[in-house]
Structure 1
Amino acid sequence: MSADVGDRITLHANAVDTPDRTGTIVGILGTDGPPYRVRFDNGDETILTPGPDATIAAPSVSERVEQVAGKAGEKASELAGEARATAEDVTGKAARAVADTASRIAERFQK
């Protein structure tokens, strides 16, 4: 049973009073398939090799767009943090340069 990252997996329960578990495949650990890293809808994450009681379905176009948008948002946040750190570093260097220049000018006036 092969799947891609982002596919939905449902583990059908073997007992009447046990609900099915549904999640998203977030990683493929085998070379051509299982085992998969699965994040279930309740937030739990596990590694599993699906058995005959599992079904895998590709997400709809809108679900795939949501996944891609979520990843893009995460990357944008990461890049914004890096840009913020760089800007703070550059601002600090500029402030030190201004302070050094002001100090040298003040020393000249004192002479």
Structure 2
Amino acid sequence: MSADVGDRITLHANSVDAPDRTGTIVGILGSDGPPYRVRFDNGDETILTPGPDATIAAPTVSERVGQAAEAAGEKATALAEEARATAEDVTGRAARAVADTASKLAERFQK
């Protein structure tokens, strides 16, 4: 069973009282197929090799757009966090440099 990242996978239940599980393939761990890393719609993530009770379908165009938007949002969040950390580091270094300079000036004036 072949799949691509972004494809939807449904694990059909083996009994009437259990619901089907549906998720998105977020990683392909084999060289040319299973096992797959799957993020289910409820947020759980697991590694699995689909059995005969699984179906895989390529996402629709609107689902692909949603996946791209989600990935872009995650990337933007990561970049914003990195920029904030860099700004805090630069601000901290600048504040330390100003404090050191002020301390040296204060020592000179005391002499």
What's the TM-score bracket when you normalise by the shorter of the two chains? Answer: 0.7 to 0.9
Residue 102 of structure 1 aligns to which amino acid in structure 2?
Answer: A
| Residue matched to 1:56 | 56
TM-score (norm 1): 0.84
| Residue matched to 1:67 | 67
| Residue matched to 2:88 | 88
The 3 A distance-change label for structure 1 pair 89 and 18 is closer
| Post-superposition offset of 1:105 | 2.7
1:57-111 per-residue CA deviation (whole Å, 9 max, x = no partner) reads 1111121121122122222222222211211121122122222222333333334
| Residue matched to 2:101 | 101
Task: Tell me the SS of whatever aligns to 2:100.
Answer: helix
The 3 A distance-change label for structure 1 pair 19 and 106 is closer
| Post-superposition offset of 1:56 | 0.7
TM-score (norm 2): 0.84
| Total equivalences in the alignment | 111
CA RMSD of superposed structures (Å): 1.8
| Cα distance between partner residues in 2 of 1:35 and 1:19 | 22
Judge which range, 52-61 or 38-47, deviates more. Answer: 38-47
The 3 A distance-change label for structure 1 pair 108 and 2 is same
| Cα distance between partner residues in 1 of 2:71 and 2:104 | 50
| Post-superposition offset of 1:7 | 0.6
| Residue matched to 2:20 | 20
Unpaired runs of 5+ residues, structure 1, are: none
Identity %: 87
| Residue matched to 1:76 | 76
| Residue matched to 2:38 | 38
